[in-house]
Structures are given as structure tokens and as C-alpha cells.
Amino acid sequence: MSDTSNPYGGFGGQMTAQAHFGEAPAKALVGDTTTSGFAKDVLEESRRQPVLVDFWAPWCGPCKQLQPMIEKVVNEANGRVKLVKLNIDDHPAIPGQLGIQSIPAVVAFVDGRPVDGFMGAIPESQIRQFIEKLGGSNEADAAAEIAAVLEEAKGLLAAGDFEGAAQLYGAVMQAAPDNAVAVAGIAECMIASNQHERARQLLESMPAEMSAAVEIQAVLKKLDQIDEARKLGDPVALEHQLALNPDDHEARMKLAKIRSVQGKRDEAADHLLMIMRRDRTFDDDGARRQLLEFFDVWGAKDPATIQARRRLSSILFS
């Protein structure tokens, strides 16, 4: 655990990013084709991703203007589309079949069929708009991929695979350093691995605008509750106190805090709701305030939060 240069390292040395969002696949995005290769290079390939076919000729001045621009934009699109160039002088059959009468002409193929196109050496901005319309935006693709990785990491964390979850959260952090969900997820992995101080250091090292995120504040509150629970005594002794005196609300409050930290959320909520039923004035309605703090840490969608909130409402509005 001595690596201080990487704040989320240390989970078996595997915390380097395993995914690189938005990077181009390891294959050529621009190439040439022939009459005999058209079926494979265009029709077959377009069933995997959109393919642009640039019909050109060596004597065509506008073709020479268009090609550098369209190649640049296709490469910047990071694999969302491919570009295939066809010299109509050497291979006139395909453009003849498609009715290409002037060049440069670009035709987009999807699922083996022509779906769109343009003619002439249009500006780079229009080429970019054409490709974004055809293949979707990089930003949307990256956001969808990050969301999917975060959901997978959440599942691994819930299943107890802290190292696997940490790898995915770390990958998101490298792709999107300002993603508060990923930062909070890394901290949760650290907490689950008994690296509480390290988790706090990570969260407190975040910029102010990130520190204010709900996800990060929830984990900081969780750390505070863990620190407090360590000072509350032996839960077995507290259970014994309550067996002797069920109205020992102070002992019950302590036990609720300990059970929450232990992950026994329903039991923690039970204790606080019991205090509320017996004495709303205890600690100036402290049981209700403590339950709301639990909700912040557990999350609004947690089943324990949903159930306890319903029971809380029945007490407040009965």
C-alpha cells in the first residue's frame, strides 16, 4: 500500500485502467477497394459499422481537396465509420451500377445498403456533421460506455468483488477524472478493504466542486459513521442493556449506528423507528435525524431506504 502516486492503486496492483473509452479500434479506418473487393470491403463491412465509399479519379481536382478532409474526420471519429475509396477510372462497374455521374461522390452504406451521401468537395464541418448523423457522436458513445462500466462495477462491488470493481472504477477515473460516481466507487472499494484512511484521503483530495457531489458526500458521511461506531462500545453489551431495559434509547441509538456500519441496514432502521414510536422527544427527535443521515449514506434507491422511508412516513403522518 505504499504507492502514493496513484490514489486508487493498491488493489492487488491491478488498478491501472483496463478500458480506454472512445479510442479507435486497432484496424485501418481508411482504405481502397476494387470491383472484386467491393462486396467484402463495403457490403459485408457495413453490417458491422457504417462505411463511406469515396468515388474519385486521379484527374479530379475537387477529389484531391475532399480526400484529406474526409480522411481526417473519419480518423477522428475513432472507428464509428470506415472510409473506402474507389477509383472510378480503374473500376467503373460499381459507380455505373449506382448511377454515379459526377465526382467526388460519397455514398454511405449501412447493413449492405446505400443509405445517404453527398457530392462535391464540401467543407470539413459539413463532413463532420454528416458522419455524426450517420454514426452518432463520440460524446454520446463515451457516456453510454462509461454508464455501462459504472453499472458493472456497482454489481461487482455489491457481490464482494472489490478488486474487480476497483479496476473498473479506476478505468472510468482515467477516462473521466471528474466522474464523482467513479471516485466514490473507488473509495467504497477501499472501505470494503479496510483502507478507511486512504479512502478519506482520496475524497478530501478532490477539487471543491467534486467534493460537493452527492456521491462523494455520502461516502464521507459513511466514513464519519464508521469512525463514530468504533467508539460506541460492544454491540453484544448494548443488546444486553436493551434486553434489561427496552427504553434505553441511548443504547438503542448506539446499536443502530453500529448495525448500519455493519451493513445490517434493516435492523438499524428498526431500532431508530422504535425510538420514534416510544419517544419522539428523545435527543430532540434525534432518531429521525439519524435515520435521514442513514438514507444519505445508503442511497435513495437502496431497498432498506425505501422500506424505512415508508415506515417513517406512517409514523410521521399517522
Active site residue ranges: 60, 63
pLDDT, residue 12, reads: 36
262: which residues sit within 8 A by CB, 6+ positions away? none
The low-confidence residues of the chain, meaning pLDDT below 70, are 1-27, 135-142, 318
The string of DSSP codes covering 251-279 is HHHHHHHHHHHTT-HHHHHHHHHHHHHH-
d(CA 42, CA 54): 11
Q: Is the pTM of this model over 0.75?
A: no
82-87 sheet: strands from edge to edge: 30-32, 82-87, 51-56, 105-110, 113-119
C-alpha cell at 167: 479496476
d(CA 231, CA 228): 6
pLDDT, residue 84, reads: 95
pLDDT, residue 9, reads: 46
Domain architecture of the chain: domains with CATH: 33-136 (3.40.30.10), 139-229 (1.25.40.10), 235-316 (1.25.40.10)
pLDDT, residue 243, reads: 94
pLDDT, residue 288, reads: 94
pLDDT, residue 5, reads: 38
